[in-house]
Amino acid sequence: MRELRNFIGGRFVDAGSRQSIESIEPATASPWAHVPDSDRTDVDAAVTSAKAAFPAWSALPAIERSQFLMKLADLIDANLDPLAEAESTDTGKPISLARFLDIPRSATNFRHFATAILHSASESHDFDGGGVPGGIPAIQYTLRRPRGVAGCISPWNLPLYLLTWKLAPALATGNTVVAKPSEVTPITAHMLAELASKAGLPPGVLNIVHGTGAKAGAAIVEHPDVPAITFTGSTAVGRWIGETCGRMLKRVSLELGGKNPFIVFDDADLEGPAGAIETAVRAGFSNQGQICLCGSRLLVHERIYDRVVPAIVERVRHLKPGDPRETATNFGAITSMAQLEKIETMVSTARQLGGRILCGGDRVPAESLPHRCRDGWFYQPTVIESLEPACKVEQEEIFGPVVTVQRFADEAEAIRLANGTGYGLAATIFTRDVGRAHRLSADIQSGIAWVNCWMVRDLRTPFGGVKQSGVGREGGLEALRFFTESKNVCIRT
């Protein structure tokens, strides 16, 4: 068993209560780590140390903060293998995914913001007095200052990737941080703290408090000395955090759930590795469908439905659930028992509502799994058709390897179906008609629209959702702005 500790004021410490939670390896359903079950007292200690570190860290020249973060990125690269192994064990994701996506992207997150702060500029306005009698000409410029202690709360599906997506801009812009990773997948956050310590990050600049959302997470959100909260997770928790931050007048950024449409028109390029068919499979089932951006609602033009849907189902049948540790595995375990049960409930509801299961629809039989994984949490990749668009299964986020399919007759119907849920994170559109690509990108209610591709991520672009998928944007300038407060200075000329 690994023994995790909180990282507060540059030291590794137990939770004050000495209580711990077990972290379970999804592929085997066996406990593999003890995680501190922290509470308000631990969060208080972390906030106190972050507050104490803030004046010196925020006063450092940007180039020096940048150098710390670049060093941390180098250490992540140097520890690619142990970090990828830990991420795969903790989440159940294939080791190849952790090695090629999660861990490299975590290093890139730090490099992106460590260099962004060396190139940022602020606005200036040369005011001519406004043309009114007695109008005063002035030069105005905008100062941007870090907010103080940033609270960063992250989920279990891409643990290090999403945690560092928050830490990097927060630290780069001069804030200090109290972070809480998901209690379900806490290991790589603990390893990151070890690397931060090796990188020589001054004590108190980064504090990591482990524990449940209800205790440790809520204590960060409600702490009066944490003026900014950035949260990625479920819509239900995001709503509570939004309400609390609203009441306390905190800055808040919420990246929440998705139920993303993946739309295939009859003129789309279908075949090949970048075609609609292969891309739909990747979009639906990468990380066992546990990515907020997954295209979980497939909308297919009626003229090609009978060709495209069987081709997708055929490829989905070739995804073979296996031991996440094996490099050949492309489909791993479901990260938690609660998540597995949620998937089962939703598929059973789909059956009751008359949905036709085209493939999957059940847990993976133990005998088809490697011996080590027979007690693990595995669900078959599943495709369902013939559901009413308004039903629960089409409306609620499942966050697992389940894709539903609808057919549409024309552009207007595709847009109506795409916009027909409470969510609005990402949409994918496959078409060769340029005008249609522009029209749909503009008309679909989402924070991101991908045309003829999926999950192409340029870290400079705004990232986030509309409607129930969130409030605020991460990425590039948006993140630099979120973690800084602007002040206008007006000097009479």
Name the residues that contact ligand NAD, by CB under 6 A. Answer: 153-157, 162, 180, 182-183, 212-214, 217-218, 221, 232-234, 237, 240-241, 255-258, 292, 397, 399, 425, 465, 470
User: Where is 6: in which H helix or E strand?
Assistant: strand 6-8
Q: List the one residue out of 82, 78, 93 whose CA is nearest residue 326.
A: 93
Shortest reach from residue 255's CB to ligand NAD, in Å? 3
Give the CA distances from residue 304 to residues 123, 168, 192, in Å, rounded to whole numbers and listed in that order.
Answer: 51, 44, 48
Shortest reach from residue 475's CB to ligand NAD, in Å? 10
In the bound state with ligand NAD, the residue whose beta carbon lies nearer, of 211 and 321, is: 211
Q: Report how far residue 181's alpha carbon sits from residue 298's, in angstroms, rounded to the nearest whole number.
A: 31
In the bound state with ligand NAD, the residue whose beta carbon lies nearer, of 36 and 257, is: 257
DSSP string covering 387-413 = --TTSHHHHS---SSEEEEEEESSHHH
Task: Decide if 271 is catalytic.
Answer: no
In the bound state with ligand NAD, the residue whose beta carbon lies nearer, of 75 and 398, is: 398
Q: Report how far residue 440's alpha carbon sits from residue 264's, in angstroms, rounded to the nearest whole number.
A: 12
Give the CA distances from residue 289 to residues 162, 332, 381, in Å, rounded to whole numbers and listed in that order.
Answer: 16, 10, 9
Shortest reach from residue 123's CB to ligand NAD, in Å? 28
Q: List the beta bridge partners of residue 124.
A: 141
User: Where is 176: in which H helix or E strand?
Assistant: strand 176-180
Q: Report how far residue 226's alpha carbon sits from residue 288's, in angstroms, rounded to the nearest whole number.
A: 35
Q: Report how far residue 60's alpha carbon sits from residue 54's, in angstroms, rounded to the nearest whole number.
A: 10
Shortest reach from residue 243's CB to ligand NAD, in Å? 11
Shortest reach from residue 143's CB to ligand NAD, in Å? 30
> Which tokens hold the place of 286?
């990468």
Shortest reach from residue 233's CB to ligand NAD, in Å? 3
Catalytic residue among 87, 183, 245, 292: 292
Q: Report how far residue 390's alpha carbon sits from residue 31's, in angstroms, rounded to the nearest whole number.
A: 40
Shortest reach from residue 34's CB to ligand NAD, in Å? 17
In the bound state with ligand NAD, the residue whose beta carbon lies nearer, of 67 and 212, is: 212
> Which tokens hold the place of 228?
């900014």
The one-letter amino acid code at 104 reads P
Ramachandran assignment for 287, one of left (phi > 0), alpha (psi -120 to 50 degrees), beta (any other) = left
Shortest reach from residue 216's CB to ligand NAD, in Å? 7
Q: How many residues are listed for the chain in this entry?
A: 493
In the bound state with ligand NAD, the residue whose beta carbon lies nearer, of 36 and 174, is: 36
Classify residue 367 by its DSSP letter.
G
Residue whose beta carbon is closest to ligand NAD: 213
Q: Report how far residue 110's alpha carbon sits from residue 220's, in angstroms, rounded to the nearest whole number.
A: 23
In the bound state with ligand NAD, the residue whose beta carbon lies nearer, of 260 and 406, is: 260
In the bound state with ligand NAD, the residue whose beta carbon lies nearer, of 66 and 446, is: 446
Task: Decide if 255 is catalytic.
Answer: yes
In the bound state with ligand NAD, the residue whose beta carbon lies nearer, of 183 and 385, is: 183
Catalytic residue among 255, 394, 397, 478: 255
Contact 21, 37 (CB under 8 A): yes
Q: Report how far residue 83's alpha carbon sits from residue 288's, in angstroms, rounded to the nearest whole number.
A: 20
User: Where is 194: in which H helix or E strand?
Assistant: helix 187-198
Q: List the one residue out of 442, 413, 417, 334 whose CA is nearest residue 380.
A: 334
First to last CA, the chain: 67
Q: Which residues are catalytic?
A: 255, 292
